[in-house]
Every structure is written in C-alpha cells, then in structure tokens.
Amino acid sequence: MASTFRLQIITPEGVFYDDKVEMTVVRTTQGDIGIQGDHMLTVSPLKIGRIKIKHDGEFKEAALSEGFLQVDTELTRVITDTAEWPEEIDIKRAEEAKKRAERRLESNKKSDIDLVRAQIALRKALNRIDVASDSKKRM
C-alpha cells in the first residue's frame, strides 16, 4: 500500500475536504506540484486551477480558486477562497460569468483594477467549466 498523508482543504465556508490520501497535484504560481507522503516542507501561493486527489487508488478532482498550499510532515493544507467538486458546478452560471468577464475585458473605459478583476473572473469561470466538462466526459 502506498504511503498516505492527511490532506485538508479549507475555504471560508469551512472544511471542504479532510482525509488521508496517497497523492495530490495542485497548481501553484510556479507550476503544478505533485505531493506524496514524506514530501519536503513547502509553502506556496496557488493559482486558479484544479486539484487532483488520489484516494484508495482512485483520482478525483475539484476546481480551486487562488489560495495557499502548506506541506508539513504529516499534513498538507490547502487554503483557498473556493473549492467545488465537478457535480457542484453550475455550468450555465459559469458560462454566464465567462460572458460577463469577456464583456468587461472588451470595454475600453475600465480602470486597471476593473481589468484585473475581469481577468480573474474569466480565469475562474473557465476553470469551473473545464473541471465540470472533464468530469462529464469521464461518466
């Protein structure tokens, strides 16, 4: 049996996930990082992306927004603004958010702050759509 470690995913709403896992892959600002038991100690900011979790030999994925990763000897903790399982994602709502963000980006009268917010909103919407769509393809 592969060595396991505790993975905890925390959002402002509470604990999203807390269990022993064999592996996880998450997107940091430096690229994707795979974590297994006895991984070196790490702290890293997260980018909008997905997290892949290997539990009992099976992979599952969730959509994450920005946050932080902390790898300790016995616990890997992900602290993020949002985390969603594919079946929780409302694709229609994500498509509407994508369209709103694209319209904001096309507007020339927005401030730099509005531009950054629109870019973040677009990345979040695209990530949610991607994670939900990939999940439906596997079913």
**Predicted confidence (pLDDT) per residue in 21-76, tens digit:** 999 999 999 999 999 988 889 999 999 999 999 999 999 999 999 999 999 988 99
What pLDDT score was predicted for residue 75? 93
The β-bridge partners of 20 are 6
For 61, how many CA atoms within 13 A lie in the half-sphere containing its CB?
20
Are residues 98 and 58 part of one domain? no
Q: Do 71 and 112 lie in a common domain?
A: no
Number of domains in the chain: 2
- What mean pLDDT, rounded, does the chain reach? 89
| 75 and 97 part of one domain | no
pLDDT for residue 1: 52
Choose between 114 and 20: higher pLDDT: 20
0.85 surpassed by pTM: no
Last residue of a domain, one of 62, 84, 106: 84
Which runs of consecutive H residues, i.e. helices, occur in the chain? 91-106, 112-138
In this structure, the answer to whether residues 75 and 108 fall within a common structural domain is no
Buried b (16+ CB within 10 A) or exposed e, 111-136: eeeeeeebeebbbbbebbbbbbeebe
Q: pLDDT value at position 79?
A: 97
Radius of gyration of the chain (CA): 16
Answer yes or no: do 48 and 96 share one domain: no
**Which range, of 6-20, 21-35, 106-120, averages the lowest pLDDT?**
106-120
Residue 109 has pLDDT above 70, yes or no: no
The beta strands (E) that lie in 13-86 are given as 14-21, 23-28, 31-36, 42-55, 58-64, 67-71, 75-80, 83-84
List, in order, residues 6 or more apart from 56 with CB less than 8 Å away: 22
Same domain, 12 and 58: yes
Of the two residues 138 and 73, the one the predictor is more confident about is: 73
The C-alpha atoms of residue 65 and residue 11 are separated, in whole angstroms, by 10
Instruction: Identify the CA nearest to 25 among candidates 45, 5, 50, 48.
Output: 50
Predicted local distance difference test score (pLDDT) of residue 104? 83
Residue 132 and residue 73 in one domain: no
Is the pLDDT at 19 greater than 60, yes or no?
A: yes
Helix (H) or strand (E) holding 10: strand 5-11
The residue segments making up the domain with residue 69 are 5-84
